[in-house]
Amino acid sequence: MQPRINRHLGGLLDTPSDEGVALAPLRPGSGMPPELNGTEWARFLLYSAAGIEHALMVQYLFAAYSLGGPDVPEARRDAVRRWQEDVLGIAKEEMAHMITVQNLLTLLGGPLNFDREDYPFDSGFYPFPFRLEGASPASIAAYVCAESPATWSGPEADAIRGAAHAGGAAPINSVGILYDELLKVVADETVVPDDAFHADSERFQASWSEWGRGYEDGARGTAPGGALHVPVPELLILTATNRETAVTALQQVGDQGEGAEQPEAVEESHFERFREIYRAMTDPAIGDPDRLRRDVGANPTPDEAPPGSTAITHPVARQWAHLFNLRYRMLLIDITHAYELTGGAEEPVNPRGAMINRAFGEMYNLRAIAGQLVVLPAGTDPSGKCAGPPFDMPYTLKLPASQRARWRLHRDLVDTSLRLGEALRQDVTGSGEAYLVALAEVDRRDREDLDLLVTRAQA
Amino acid sequence: MIRELRILPPLVIARFGGATTPMDNYEAKVDPEHPLAYRRLEPATTFEVNRTTGEITGMFEPPTLQFTQDGLVRPIAPFLELWALTEDDVLEPATLEMLAAEGATAESISWTVEAANLKVFRRTRDALDQVTAKVAAFSDHTPQPLVGTCDHFWPGATIPFGDVQYIKPTPEHPEIRLRITPAAGLVYGSSDTPPGPGRPTDPNLAAVVYNATEGIWRGYTEEGERFQTIPVQLFAGVTEEGSDVQISWGYLDDACDGIVRAALTTDQAMHSASARFATGPPTYVPDAFPIRAVADELEQALRGPHVDSAEPEQVEEIVRRAFESVRLMNTAYLNIAGPGAPVTARSLTDSVALERLHQSLFVALRSGTAPWFSDALREWDQVRDRSETGRKRMPAMMRGADGALMALTRRQVNHVRAQAHGPIFEDPQ
């Protein structure tokens, strides 16, 4: 439970959030809590937004990785593969939203937040209960609702909301309500004064040129004849130096989720793309939608499994799951560390650039290991649920105080990866083994670099 | 019975070297335990050839690989082999025994070789600038020099292109072979007066051969030229201050390419076959391959641009060659070279970091993950798109042979696309 978050939400919730009550509908336009001033309220909302974007991203990733499997009819495989790439694209865009939110936190002098809720879900501010589950009409419907504009209504809206609530959960809040509140707060100079915006923080902010990987304005394709004919993600990684640019950034992030008034923006919005997938998935011609994904267990974990989660007990899957969690932690540490290293996008060759490249390498690792997990059983019964990427949060995301200790932390994580990989390699063959051999080589080289960094860093 | 003859391989590439002993045979292999390391160079079976008799006197596997000898590069001197398509529809090496069955001997094979260096002619389009060499039909086993002559050379001046030697088949090595030994890789110059004895004063030159009072090569420029090469101005020369017009120094080199023909005349029939050869610079990085090579072009020409089914190892090979190339590039400079904005943020273009990023991508592909970057590949008809978008496509920061942005062959791109659907529908193991 996170009372330290929930207790500030009273002004926004229709009903108070109690222990055990997962959600209540957000009431937009409410006042800020008494213990926070305007700037702090903006920071709090951004802090929450960061956690939400992170949670959405991993849930979308999980759903995307679950798509596929040998039961998908041949005639549907192109479509399923397109949906997978589309949802992965939306996840990338959520990552970009999270980065933009971190930039705004930096602008307002707030603490960065790469944390998010784990299962079981705790906060009253999330659009729906955090749940890693395979892509189904119900889960896709939940995502549609989470990204929907506040004005969305009509018979289809009612039907999709009903499908999303099939599990009996509370009404799903729209992410847009949070961003609407944030926009009002940040735009209001009587709430957040001008001197709260630190223009000189820009060199600490993440830039699109460093993190965008070319995903902008269709720059990464898809050319006609491209493999999957899927809209290319548009990563909105926006920096800000003042109120005006902060408001613009929030508007753009909100528009990408819900879709603005312009038709072309609506078409590419998360809301619309999820809605299209929902429509396709529930088309009677598609057949049984359960055949379109692997039967992955919800909220998988290699550790003690709380109620509602899936214990990964299969010995090989369990080792892969631990490796996944470790590389996930390495990714989050790389991103956190990158933010704390100075040096802008146009400075040649600096540690920040190296850390960003490491982060992208970890994203590739997560994709690879998730691919191994979804084809393995979660338990010892091969006909039971499949395992899946657990995305368990590490015990901390805090970095040590000194630079040397930080490089030591990276080195410790690499050492752990070498140990886990070596053990796992005794039990796998084929593509899994080929991957582990190559991963070990990368880790060994990384370790050599980190030894140098530890030696050279100041204590 | 011999139905037809072939010379295999149909194309060989010899590589310059000034040393007297050709380079030993080797293979460049990926170490399965170290897939990201430089390819392992492994000595392979090598023929020892007596240059005087032309006989293969032995075979050996060198204990180590030495690329130079007494400070000079050892040339790559490839062999061409004569093969026969028999009446049983079998393609096999021609041997003494096979010839004997036709009533023929080793001396029944005659070889002719034509070679040329047309680089100057290509620019001046003056036929008298062609440097050509011919070896008339021969059946003996002594080295036959390839002597390049040109109507615009000074009297008696020539450029040696190397030599060819008909390897004498023996009972131990009865196959029919021709060996091509390339030139040393030297540069030759031009003058207004006949060259004197001794080395030229220009330290770049092995000798002066070209008569600049008869030919226009020295001082040549492409200004106003309709039939420029792509890229333009690919010759040694100088540009004057304030101008971008290259003025030729009148240099020539000892590269060549040519055609080898073999003819067999028996009482029953006449058969012939031909093959091509080319010479080029030494392989200074033998343990890494470029991302796009002549072999890729030939494969596309042979098998077409389309790929029937996914071949994951092909995609892995492309990515491996990508990080092998990045390893050799000054990416920090290339990122900002040329007009327009940098290809990517300067902070990200350290070549070590980029190499590691490509290796991480490669590692992920080894798990069987479908390549997600197929949409980022440059199409063949986008090589002149130098917009910011165009320059960011992959491969980035690389130039094709035509000076435009590099694109993989269509077949390579289609390999990546075929794999893009990936194994997500496979049965679990």
- Over residues B335-339, the mean pLDDT reads 72
Asked if B367 lies within 8 A of A77 by C-beta distance, the reply is no
Asked if B422 lies within 8 A of A432 by C-beta distance, the reply is no
Residue B9, preceding peptide bond in cis (omega within 30° of 0) = yes
The pLDDT score that the predictor gives to residue A298 is: 93
Asked if B375 lies within 8 A of A220 by C-beta distance, the reply is yes
pLDDT tens digits, one per residue of B122-180: 999 999 999 999 999 999 999 999 999 999 999 999 999 999 999 999 999 999 999 99
Burial (CB < 10 A; 0-12, 13-18, 19+), residue B241, is: exposed
Asked if A85 lies within 8 A of B372 by C-beta distance, the reply is yes
Alpha carbon of B401: minimum distance to chain A alpha carbons (Å)? 23
Q: Which of A70, A207, A227 sits opposite B417 (nearest CB)?
A: A227
Q: Which of A88, A218, A375 sits opposite B428 (nearest CB)?
A: A375
- Over residues A343-366, the mean pLDDT reads 77
* A166 touches A145 (CB < 8 A): no
Closest C-alpha to B325, from B361, B283, B349, B290: B290
Per-residue b or e along A418-442, where b marks 16 or more CB atoms closer than 10 Å to that residue's CB: bebbeebbeebeebbbbbbbbbbbb
Alpha carbon of B182: minimum distance to chain A alpha carbons (Å)? 40
Closest-approach residue (CA) in chain A for B34: A441
Apex A435 CA angle, A214 and A327, nearest 5:
65
- Taking each continuous run of H as one helix and of E as one strand, the counts in chain B are 8, 22
Asked if A365 lies within 8 A of B332 by C-beta distance, the reply is no
Task: Choose from A27-41, A58-72, B337-351 the range with maximum mean pLDDT.
Answer: A58-72
Asked if B363 lies within 8 A of A220 by C-beta distance, the reply is no
The pLDDT score that the predictor gives to residue A282 is: 93
Task: Choose from A363-367, B131-135, B387-391 the range with maximum mean pLDDT.
Answer: B131-135
pLDDT tens digits, one per residue of A48-59: 889 888 998 999
Q: Which two tokens stand for residue A131?
A: 């749940």
Report chain A's mean pLDDT, rounded to a whole number.
Answer: 83
Q: Which of A221, A361, A368 sits opposite B367 (nearest CB)?
A: A368
Q: Which two tokens stand for residue B384?
A: 């002149």
Asked if A438 lies within 8 A of B389 by C-beta distance, the reply is no
Q: Which of A232, A386, A446 sits opposite B375 (nearest CB)?
A: A232
Q: Which residues pair with B113 in a beta bridge?
A: B135, B260
- Over residues A359-383, the mean pLDDT reads 90
Report the DSSP pairing between strands B109-117 and B131-138: antiparallel
Asked if A348 lies within 8 A of B332 by C-beta distance, the reply is yes
- Residue A33: pLDDT band (50, 70, 90) is confident
- Taking the CB of residue A397, how many other CB atoms lie within 10 A of it? 16
Q: What's B244-266 look like in SS3?
A: CCEEECCCEECCCEEEEEEEEEC
Asked if B420 lies within 8 A of A228 by C-beta distance, the reply is yes
Asked if B332 lies within 8 A of A350 by C-beta distance, the reply is no
The pLDDT score that the predictor gives to residue A406 is: 94
Q: Does pLDDT of B115 surpass 60? A: yes
- Count chain A–chain B contacts defined by CB atoms under 8 A: 178
Which distant-in-sequence residues (6+ apart) come within 8 Å of A440 by Cβ? A418, A421, A422, A425
pLDDT tens digits, one per residue of B239-292: 988 998 999 999 999 999 999 999 999 888 899 999 999 999 999 899 999 999
Q: Which residues of B touch A350 (CB under 8 A)?
A: 347
Q: Which of A352, A364, A439 sits opposite B347 (nearest CB)?
A: A352
Asked if B345 lies within 8 A of A226 by C-beta distance, the reply is no
Q: Which of A209, A367, A447 to mutate to test the interface with B (most CBs of B within 10 A)?
A: A209
Alpha carbon of B279: minimum distance to chain A alpha carbons (Å)? 37
Backbone torsions φ then ψ of A238, nearest 5 degrees: -115, 135
Alpha carbon of B369: minimum distance to chain A alpha carbons (Å)? 6
Asked if B425 lies within 8 A of A350 by C-beta distance, the reply is no
Q: Which residues of B touch A437 (CB under 8 A)?
A: 32-33, 35, 366
Q: Which residues of B touch A441 (CB under 8 A)?
A: 34-37
Q: Which residues of B touch A217 (CB under 8 A)?
A: 389
Closest-approach residue (CA) in chain B for A71: B425
Q: Which residues of B touch A85 (CB under 8 A)?
A: 372
Q: Which residues of B touch A69 (CB under 8 A)?
A: 424-425
The pLDDT score that the predictor gives to residue B418 is: 83
Report the C-alpha dihedral over residues A40, A43, A48, A49, rounded to 10 degrees. 150
Alpha carbon of A322: minimum distance to chain B alpha carbons (Å)? 17
Higher pLDDT residue, A436 or A449? A436
* A297 touches A385 (CB < 8 A): yes
Burial (CB < 10 A; 0-12, 13-18, 19+), residue B288, is: middle
Report chain B's mean pLDDT, rounded to a whole number.
Answer: 91
Q: Which residues of A touch B368 (CB under 8 A)?
A: 371, 431, 435
Alpha carbon of A340: minimum distance to chain B alpha carbons (Å)? 15
Q: What's chain B's Rg over C-alpha atoms?
A: 25
The pLDDT score that the predictor gives to residue A262 is: 46
Asked if B374 lies within 8 A of A226 by C-beta distance, the reply is yes
pLDDT tens digits, one per residue of B97-107: 999 999 999 99
| Distance of alpha carbon A374 from alpha carbon A294, whole angstroms | 7
- Taking each continuous run of H as one helix and of E as one strand, the counts in chain A are 14, 2
Higher pLDDT residue, B228 or A106? A106
* B79 touches B177 (CB < 8 A): yes
Alpha carbon of B114: minimum distance to chain A alpha carbons (Å)? 45
Longest dimension (CA), chain A: 65
User: B272: part of which helix (H) or strand (E)?
Assistant: strand B270-280
| Distance of alpha carbon A338 from alpha carbon A208, whole angstroms | 14
Asked if A442 lies within 8 A of B36 by C-beta distance, the reply is yes
Q: Which of A209, A353, A430 sits opposite B353 (nearest CB)?
A: A353
Q: Does pLDDT of A70 surpass 60? A: yes
Higher pLDDT residue, B394 or B341? B394
- Over residues A412-441, the mean pLDDT reads 95
pLDDT tens digits, one per residue of A222-231: 433 345 566 6
Q: Which residues of A touch B329 (CB under 8 A)?
A: none
Which distant-in-sequence residues (6+ apart) come within 8 Å of B193 by Cβ? none
pLDDT tens digits, one per residue of A220-269: 444 333 455 666 677 888 999 999 999 999 988 887 776 654 444 555 78
Alpha carbon of A157: minimum distance to chain B alpha carbons (Å)? 32
Asked if B428 lies within 8 A of A386 by C-beta distance, the reply is yes
Q: Which residues of B touch A343 (CB under 8 A)?
A: 347
Q: Which residues of B87-152 form beta strands (DSSP E)?
A: 91-93, 109-117, 131-138, 144-148
Q: Does pLDDT of A370 surpass 60? A: yes
| Distance of alpha carbon B165 from alpha carbon B173, whole angstroms | 15
Amino acid at site A323: L
Q: Which residues of B touch A435 (CB under 8 A)?
A: 363-364, 366-368
Q: Which of A237, A428, A431 to mutate to test the interface with B (most CBs of B within 10 A)?
A: A431
Q: Which of A350, A435, A442 sits opposite B367 (nearest CB)?
A: A435
Q: Which of B36, B39, B365, B367 to mutate to test the interface with A (most CBs of A within 10 A)?
A: B367
